[in-house]
Homo-oligomer: A and B are copies of this chain.
């Protein structure tokens, strides 16, 4: 591997000059620069970013900390879409992405902060972490610039991107009430996701405003998995046989609910309407197509990267970015 030292020797100049020439400084003679660039090419030189990072104290890498990047979760293309967005923005910049996953065996030994400190990432994007994660606060309070996906917390060096989950759920309420439903239930996700809380609140509030009460026995909790959605939906119907519409806090749970209900002989949407949340890929392939709230998942990742890199490069303040959502009406919901 050729180094600037080799170039310096061959070109008959000092390493300082080589460094300056290659980095486009103005105070170097055009002829010397030309010669240096030439010999650099000749020696097939490529800069050693590690050495550069060491002296500059900047690695030009951002950590992408994902939980849920596990085999079982591939169904839910949420994670991958976020990652794609992050990647697309980052690849327009000088930053490379280092992947950290929390389901790894390393996790137990090392906190996220340690991971990031050791690899010297300049900043980190965190996706899929649970609100009860013991290290969440450590990250938010920490020194490393970070952007959280779907966790509305701002710290001295921490911003976030999210969608307006309250508003999204509100729209579902409006929509179902508009279709004439009055006996409505909800399958929520586990309590350790901020989105669960928000979606519940938004849904409840919009129904109340239509004089529909979502009592506790009309709310059943799953854990965002397909299977749990089925279980929760059946429970719901057992407790409230009159239910004509169910809002599920995730598409995966909604799909589970549809499967379970269909297997019990319910027709969707004739007997019961189902609405999901996320607009995952599957939702438009299942039968019937699932009505859901579409989130700009890709945008979530893209904006996260944008926000983080703005914080890094222009000392931008940590702040929040809200990306849009939209009701996608398909065939799993109908007038009562």
* Interface set of A (CB-CB < 8 Å, partner B): 1, 46-51, 53-54, 59, 61, 64, 69-71, 74-75, 77, 80-81, 83-85, 87-88, 91-92, 96-101, 103-106, 114, 117-120, 281-282, 285-287, 298
Contacts and interface: CB of A to CB of B under 8 A. Distances in A.
Contacts of A81: 71, 74
B71 A84 contact: yes
Contact of A49 (B64, B119, B287): B119
A115 to B, nearest CB: 9
Contacts of A74: 77, 80-81, 84, 281
A23 B1 CA distance: 28
A116 B84 CA distance: 20
7 contacts: A1-B117, A49-B118, A50-B50, A61-B98, A74-B77, A91-B104, A285-B286
A227 B244 CA distance: 37
Contact of A105 (B1, B70, B91, B98): B91
Instruction: List 7 tightest A-B contacts by C-beta distance, closest first.
Output: A91-B104, A97-B99, A46-B117, A80-B80, A50-B53, A285-B285, A50-B54
Nearest to A121: B96
Given A1-B117, A70-B88, A87-B99, 4 more contacts: A48-B120, A74-B84, A92-B105, A96-B99
Contacts of A117: 1, 46
